[in-house]
Structure 1
Amino acid sequence: MKPRHSAAWAGAAVVALVATAGCGTKAAEGAAEAVDRSAAIMAALTRATDRADQVGSAQVEMTTDLGTGTPIAMDGTYSWGDGYAYDVQMDTKASQMQTLQDAPTIRTLLVDGAYYYDVDPQPSGPLAGKEWMKVDASAVFGEQGAQALSGSSGSPVASLKGLKYAEDVDDLGTETVDGKRTTHYRATIDSSRMGKFKDALGDENGLLGATTGGVDSITVDIWVGDDDLPVRILQVMGAMKVTVDFEKFGATAEVKAPPAAQTGDLTEAIKDASGR
């Protein structure tokens, strides 16, 4: 496997996981020392967290700009009611996957901490005659990072919960987004308050750390609708910008892993290509 393919797969994972991972974390020591914020802002973010938690899934459109070329576009369904999973279509060329898929988009799944890419069967190698390519999250985030982001820690709910650990949270007023009236909030979270997500960013064996170029803080913009559900989330991490637009909440189909007989596992090959 060529290293540039590894970078593309890292980008694909970042698009879907980081875009909603934010700062999924349990209460940390020192949270009580977080900077003061208004009761109105905290109440609004709490309502948004609770509402998103209740619906458990969403149809989204997403773009990730890695700062190295054409932003990667994705759209599909995400669920977090029973673990974190997604089923999306990703721009093939922007993600540098055109050597493995001739179609303009490539279907990508996340199931039980593993990524699956619907590729064209290859004539030789681990993907010979296989329809799906599997990459374990540990190849992208490192062992520590994958463990930190297991379960539902990558969900939009975890992202919203993480905002209470921000140093600064501001109410930027009312804006119209995708035809919806929203209130725009902005939060800045430094490395000392990133909780588990810091493991994913800092693990030297993970491609995410190399992709972002190192992250000292995360800036999160969130637009909340009148129904107390998020309409858009924008995260900036180093050179990376990720935008998630929530088109519709609830009623998404269960995401299942492809049949093992149709899947080629490239996890170890990608770890080797990235220097493990």
Structure 2
Amino acid sequence: MKRVTTLAAVTTAAVLALSACGGEKQSGAAAPAPAPSEQKSLLASPLGDPIQLAALTRESTKKAKSSKVTMESVAGTQKQTATGQGMYDGENTKFSMSMDSDGKKLEVLFVDSALYFKLDASDKAEMKTDKSYVKISADGQDPISQMLGKMMSKAIKDSDPSRTLEQVSKAGKITKSDQVELNGELTNHYVVEIEVEKAIALIAGEVGVPFPADVQKQLDAKLKGKNVTIPTELWLNAEQLPVQVVSDQTAFMKAMGVPGDGVAKTTVKYTDWGSPVEVTAPPADQVGDLAEIMKKAGGR
């Protein structure tokens, strides 16, 4: 089913972007912005060891667990944008996101360990359903849920900076760090090189769902001996919370044989840390069973 597959692919990209750096900030009234000299004294020196940095951020991520987020993904001439809000709290993680992909609006909810896609009139016609949402969950019986459910659930639940940096320590390294001003705020800026082959193996191993043998064979053939990396930049504020994450997938896309010579890059920005997040699952009678819908639609 083309539409559901497209929805799943776009949402997976969004989830992975979100999991690149979730985190928390202390709640309460905002303090006046310090002068640049005061900012300098409040901002600790950047670290070169991702394990040490992960440990430093761990306590920060146990505080107020929410933010607003915007994402922009560019691949050649194609552009996707998204806005949303999320609470990053392990099993209680939830978020809502509105995406624009090739002029098509997509609305997604993640709550109670399941993803819900909102369907418009054309979606309902293609899927032959009158339901307003379809659901993808880790325990779903349809092929898409079985393929993506566990991976998406784990990516979302692991969405905090300390967890991300622990993964970076296994699949990459910090190659540069400095202090720069971003949007009027002094931040610690890190440049990270993530090794694609190690990252893929790490994700598959932790999720416990290996790629199908033919897919893994194709990945191995395309990546072998190329030492492909995904350069990633992170900006963290004085509270060790992400302000911006930029991931450049250009080399990876070219290695995979994706046509075109354009840049493939994702930028995620975080604001309003500690803001309230209200996300609830749709009423059960408005949610369609994806396996049944796929059968009716003939698996298109």
TM-score over 0.5 for the pair: yes
Matched, 1:152 2:157: yes
TM-aligned CA distance change 1:19 to 1:267, over 3 Å: farther
- Could you say which structure has the larger radius of gyration? 2
TM-aligned CA distance change 1:244 to 1:226, over 3 Å: same
Q: How far off is 1:136 after superposition?
A: 3.6
TM-aligned CA distance change 1:12 to 1:232, over 3 Å: same
Amino acid of the residue matched to residue 220 of structure 1?
Answer: T
Matches for 1:77-96 after TM superposition, within 5 Å: 77-83=85-91, 84-91=93-100, 93-94=101-102
Which position in structure 1 is the counterpart of 2:47? 40
Alignment check: 8 A CA contact 1:183 1:224 kept: yes
Determine the C-alpha separation between the residues in 1 that align with 2:130 and 2:200: 42
Alignment check: 8 A CA contact 1:59 1:252 kept: no
Determine the C-alpha separation between the residues in 1 that align with 2:156 and 2:120: 30
Matched, 1:73 2:81: yes
2:265 to 230, 241, 266: 241
1:226 to 223, 230, 238: 238
Which position in structure 2 is the counterpart of 1:132? 133
Higher mean C-alpha displacement, 138-147 vs 78-87: 138-147
TM-score w.r.t. length of structure 1: 0.69
Q: How far off is 1:228 after superposition?
A: 2.3
The sequence identity of aligned pairs, in percent, is 21
Unaligned runs of 5+ in 1: 25-37, 99-104
Q: How far off is 1:126 after superposition?
A: 4.9
TM-aligned CA distance change 1:186 to 1:46, over 3 Å: farther
Which position in structure 2 is the counterpart of 1:119? 119
Matches for 1:1-276 after TM superposition, within 5 Å: 1-2=1-2, 6-15=5-14, 17-22=15-20, 40-42=47-49, 43-65=52-74, 67=75, 69-83=77-91, 84-91=93-100, 93-94=101-102, 98=104, 105-121=105-121, 124=125, 126=127, 128-136=129-137, 139=144, 142=147, 146=151, 149=154, 152-190=157-195, 191-192=197-198, 196-199=202-205, 203-204=211-212, 217-237=229-249, 238-239=252-253, 241-266=265-290, 269=294
Which SS does the other structure have where 1:227 is aligned? coil
Determine the C-alpha separation between the residues in 1 that align with 2:146 and 2:232: 20
Which position in structure 2 is the counterpart of 1:33? none
TM-aligned CA distance change 1:155 to 1:173, over 3 Å: closer
TM-aligned CA distance change 1:148 to 1:90, over 3 Å: closer
Amino acid of the residue matched to residue 241 of structure 2?
Answer: L
Which SS does the other structure have where 1:149 is aligned? helix
Determine the C-alpha separation between the residues in 2 that align with 1:9 and 1:144: 10
Amino acid of the residue matched to residue 119 of structure 1?
Answer: L
Which position in structure 2 is the counterpart of 1:31? none
TM-score w.r.t. length of structure 2: 0.65
Structure with bigger helix share is: 2
TM-aligned CA distance change 1:245 to 1:256, over 3 Å: same
Higher mean C-alpha displacement, 142-151 vs 112-121: 142-151
TM-aligned CA distance change 1:120 to 1:112, over 3 Å: same
Q: How far off is 1:224 after superposition?
A: 1.1
Q: How far off is 1:56 after superposition?
A: 1.6
TM-aligned CA distance change 1:175 to 1:126, over 3 Å: same
Alignment check: 8 A CA contact 1:60 1:75 kept: yes
Q: CA RMSD in A?
A: 4.1
TM-aligned CA distance change 1:130 to 1:167, over 3 Å: closer
Amino acid of the residue matched to residue 142 of structure 1?
Answer: M
Moved over 6 A (4+): none
State the number of aligned residues.
Answer: 246
Which SS does the other structure have where 2:16 is aligned? helix
Q: How far off is 1:39 after superposition?
A: 8.8
Unaligned runs of 5+ in 2: 23-44, 254-263
Determine the C-alpha separation between the residues in 1 that align with 2:48 and 2:87: 26
